[in-house]
Amino acid sequence: MTKALLAIALGLTLVLGFAALKPASSSNAAVDATVTTAATETQLPAPERISKGPVVSNVTPRSASIGWITDVQAPTEVRYSSDGKHWHAAIKPGAEHGHVVNITRLAPNTGYQFMIMTLGHAVNYTGAFHTKPL
């Protein structure tokens, strides 16, 4: 039952995350989203979209790398978990188009789930990998 609830929660998070995405123009230029409040109007950057990847590589018993390319420059955040309950964050500061996050201190021979997060901390992509045995 716990796995079913996790699947439902991830599904809802994905739907909400993708609903926040606006399609880029044909020239792949960044699109500004406008948030209007009663008092002021604020320009927020559009959430990034993954245009290539992600690719999981360099998997060892204790680490893995996840790489992808986004359509706009953005900071990088990957959340990962071996049980779906306790999530850890791997953050790389700075805004780039090409992203590579190295995740370390993993358990050998263990399956992990990961989520690539957007600027607004909505789920942009989910995936999985398995570390090698010792």
Cα separation, 50 vs 19, in Å, equals 15
Q: CATH fold of 2-130, please? A: Immunoglobulin-like (2.60.40)
| Helix, strand or coil, per DSSP, at residue 3 | helix
Displacement of CA 92 from its chain's centroid (Å):
12
pLDDT, residue 44, reads: 54
pLDDT tens for each residue of the chain, 134 residues long: 444 433 344 343 333 333 333 333 333 333 333 333 344 445 555 567 888 999 999 999 999 999 999 888 888 889 999 999 999 999 877 788 899 999 999 999 999 999 998 776 777 889 999 999 99
In our burial notation (b when 16+ CB lie closer than 10 A, e otherwise), range 58-79 reads ebeeeebbbbbbbbbebebbbb
Q: Where are the domains of the chain?
A: 2-130
